[in-house]
Amino acid sequence: MVDPTLAEMGKNLNEAMKMLEDNQRKVEEENEKKYARKDIPGPLQGSGQDMVSILQLVQNLMHGEEEEETSQSYRLQNVGEQGHMALLGHSLAAYISVLDRERLRKLTTRILSDTTLWLCRLFRYENGSAYYHEDDREGLLKICRLVIHTRYDDYTIEGFNVLYSKQPVIYISSAARTGLGQALCNQLGLPLSCMCRVPCNTMFGSQHQMDVALLDRVIKDDVESGKLPLLLVANAGTPGAGHTDKLGRLKELCEQYNMWLHVEGVNLATLALGYVSSSVLAATKCDSMTLTLGSWLGLPAVPAVTLYRHEDPSLSLAAGLTSSQPVEKLRALPLWLSLQYLGHDGIVERIKHASQLSQRLLENLKNLDFIKTSVEDELSSPVVVFKFFQEYSNRDQTSHAAQASTIQHPIISNERHIYDTFNQWLGEQLAQLVPASGVDVVELEDEGTCVRFSPLMTSAVLGTEIQDIDQLVDCLKMKIPVLTSTLQLREEFEQEVRRTVGLLYIEDLGWPGLGVVRYNYHSDEKNDDKQEKELEKINTELLKKLNELESDLTFSLGPEFGGQKNCVYIGMVTEDLDVSELVETIAATGREIEENSRLLENMTEVVRKGIQEAQLQLQKANEERLLEEGLLRQIPVVGSVLNWFSPFQASPKGRTFNLTAGSLESTESTYVSKAQGTGTTPPPTPTSSLAKQRLPGQKAFKRSLRSSDGFSETSSISHCDDLEKMDQRPPALSPSHEQGPLETEKQEEQKEVAQAQTNTEDTHSDKSPPDCAKGEEQMRGLLSGNRDRDGKGCALRNVNVDRMWETKWGGSARGDVERF
């Protein structure tokens, strides 16, 4: 019979999980609650709230902020039924803790002993004890205290005073987790001199494995100097590359100097499989190991486990590995429930699935060019690390042979930074395109920036499947040509920019793209702040105009932090990019912006000086007018009478400012002709002359792909010109073609022109000026009559007018008829 309380607890948990996992809300509610009351902390309500309201508040806090920022549903961990069992364990632990002491002791002892026995058998660790902890470093910390209690007999009585005689030394690998040694020293109260970092191999073996020979010499030197070698932390799967130290030799070395060997790493999960590599199998002989089952099996909120072997329970109790409090033993309850739900076969299947994913990816990476892999064992490596790398000597080749699986390091330091930048971009792109793969970017000491795939840490949480790996490989195949093209064209872009006047190449090794360019603004301005603002204005406008072009390139201001100012950053490119056209367009656009800016500045200055000159001339004209009118005309009454008897005829004198010439001109001609002159034609606005003719649908900065070798650029251009001429030529009408309204109208216009020509020949054969005037009147009437129509056939009428004018009166009809 099931306890009603337990049944109700399970029911409430299921309802709560369904409510929390249902993160689909309406758009109207999102807009209304964007700045809702839930975002502002407030006082505790006196009346209290029901469970549904509280869970709704938790749901809003979990999903509200991410959805408002990204307008997408936030991807949570793949919590299945086994995850619900782990969450139920926390609720049961709170319920069990209220039982009477004796019943609680029996229950916790059973839970602790069952879980420890299952884990020791599952991971081949015989006769071990278990310590369950929330922080994965806490188990190693308690092991260090246990070793200190074991090696220093009087430590329980005298404390840290016994450490002065022989300073303890803890050895960790240089490939260990960042900050692990410092965290141990801080928690143990030891100086940092008690921590010794052992370098990895440099000549032979994996460069991620601890150098055993060097470790032996270091331990000997510490023993001779009066120090006490205490503990060695080894890796069965380094945090970066997933390599395993030589645990067998390290165990022999620890036995020689009476040291404790602790092992941690993701490769310990493979101990549950049927086939285990010898390097990982040696971990079963170590003194302690830490297992992180939550990430391996996709179990939320389950503790990490540290398995250890020690014969003295009192020292274990003193070190904190065991506790007499039954409530602390309930930490194993979520794991106890989850292991029973999964069973032995389910646990092994999950770990096996993760190993198969890594093998699937590794097999596909071997067939890709320009991809270097770094794995410890090609047959059973649960962690795959790879990077994009192109040999310097093979950059200009179009075909490449398959590369070796060992990463070869660049010699040139600039190349190292460039490859790190490109691989950083590659890892971010793959993680964004295939989020279910769980790939991330890792910084390795020797290889630099690489892309890491560790399915044991991510596949159970994200639900990674084989199709996700295939999609990851497809995305990688699409990105490799982009990387190779950008790397090859990067040097050409730099050379083109350095050869182009007005452009400045900015070397930014941290930018994943073609390069960085700045339009170099030259000014005689001595004010640096003003010149800097003008430079920023020009480059900002240049970036805006480049983004308006129809191209596949991305132009930006660069990264938000750490980038150069007043520059144009160009992103990744493809192999069909025309670098010379791109650079010429940037330079021409920059010059155009600069010329427009200077033209505006010059016009402003000219207008200012013209206004000042006009004020002076008007003041002088007023003084001259006073002298011409005389003193009597300035008297109010006398001046009016005098002006009535003898009006003063003053010629109007004004000034007009010619923007084109930049000078003041008299308005006398304006008053005489009753029209203001237009002056000279203003200079055309400078525009870019690089509008390269492109085929229909072809985007900017693309090299046109020719179908045959005989199709040259010259022939293509001439062919385009012929097409334009054919488009401009009026279509010829066949004799059998029926005339439409447009053709009839043209014939009528031709008849009118011919009639006007006949009349002109009869009446003005001597071409005298009066006759020309009459001819002008006829032309004016003809043009005014044509102006009332819809404007069709204007080109034909202009041609006929030009011919008739040249025949009868000579000269050009354009300039004489325009005034009409």
> Domain coordinates of the chain in residue numbers?
137-291, 350-391+413-483, 489-596
Q: C-alpha angle 802/805/809, rounded to 5°? A: 155
Q: What is the largest CA-CA distance in the chain?
A: 139
Q: Please answer whether residues 437 and 360 qualify as being in contact, where contact means their C-beta atoms are separated by less than 8 angstroms.
A: no
pLDDT at 6 over 90: no
**What is the architecture of the domain spanning 350-391+413-483?**
Alpha-Beta Complex (3.90)
The mean pLDDT of 170-198, rounded to a whole number, is: 93
Sequence-ordered list of residues with C-beta below 8 angstroms from that of 422, at least 6 positions apart, any chain: 388, 483, 486, 487, 512
Could you confirm whether domain 137-291 is CATH 3.40.640.10?
Answer: yes
Please give the torsion angle defined by the CA atoms of residues 491, 494, 495 and 501, in that order, rounded to the nearest 10 degrees.
Answer: 170
Q: Please answer whether residues 483 and 428 qualify as being in contact, where contact means their C-beta atoms are separated by less than 8 angstroms.
A: no
- 3-state SS class at 799: helix
How confident is the model at residue 141, as a pLDDT?
96
Alpha-carbon Rg for the chain in angstroms: 44
pLDDT (tens digit, 9 = 90+) per residue, 192-205?
A: 999 999 999 877 76
Phi, psi of 290 (to 5 degrees): -115, 130
How confident is the model at residue 12, as a pLDDT?
67
Q: What whole-number percentage of the chain has pLDDT above 90?
A: 39
Of residues 663 and 29, the one with the higher pLDDT is 663
- 3-state SS class at 210: strand
**Dist CA 463 CA 551 (whole Å):** 38
How confident is the model at residue 266, as a pLDDT?
94
Q: Please answer whether residues 301 and 308 qualify as being in contact, where contact means their C-beta atoms are separated by less than 8 angstroms.
A: no
pLDDT (tens digit, 9 = 90+) per residue, 448-501?
A: 999 999 999 999 889 899 999 999 999 999 999 999 999 999 999 999 999 998
Q: Is 715 exposed, middle or buried (0-12, 13-18, 19+ CB in 10 A)?
A: exposed
How confident is the model at residue 747, as a pLDDT?
56
How confident is the model at residue 24, as a pLDDT?
44
The mean pLDDT of 570-598, rounded to a whole number, is: 89
Same fold yes or no, 137-291 and 350-391+413-483: no
Task: Give the closest residue to 504 by CA, choosing from 567, 584, 462, 428.
Answer: 567
How far is Cα of residue 770 from the mean position of the Cα atoms in its chain?
78
Least confident of 109-113, 486-490, 523-527: 523-527
Task: Give the closest residue to 584 by CA, choosing from 630, 622, 532, 549.
Answer: 549
How confident is the model at residue 770, as a pLDDT?
42
Task: Give the closest residue to 61 by CA, choosing from 29, 20, 24.
Answer: 20
Q: 288 forms bridges with which residues in the sheet? A: 262, 308
Residue type, 334: P
Q: What value does the mean pLDDT of the chain take? A: 76
pLDDT at 760 over 90: no
3-state helix, strand, coil in the chain (%, to 5): 55, 10, 35
Report the interhelical angle of 333-366 vs 101-122 (nearest 10°). 20
pLDDT (tens digit, 9 = 90+) per residue, 131-176?
A: 999 999 999 999 999 999 999 988 988 888 899 889 999 999 999 9
Q: Please answer whether residues 380 and 275 qualify as being in contact, where contact means their C-beta atoms are separated by less than 8 angstroms.
A: yes
How confident is the model at residue 771, as a pLDDT?
46
How confident is the model at residue 532, as a pLDDT?
80
The mean pLDDT of 224-231, rounded to a whole number, is: 95
Of residues 277 and 788, the one with the higher pLDDT is 277
How far is Cα of residue 344 from the mean position of the Cα atoms in its chain?
43
Least confident of 114-118, 536-540, 758-762: 758-762
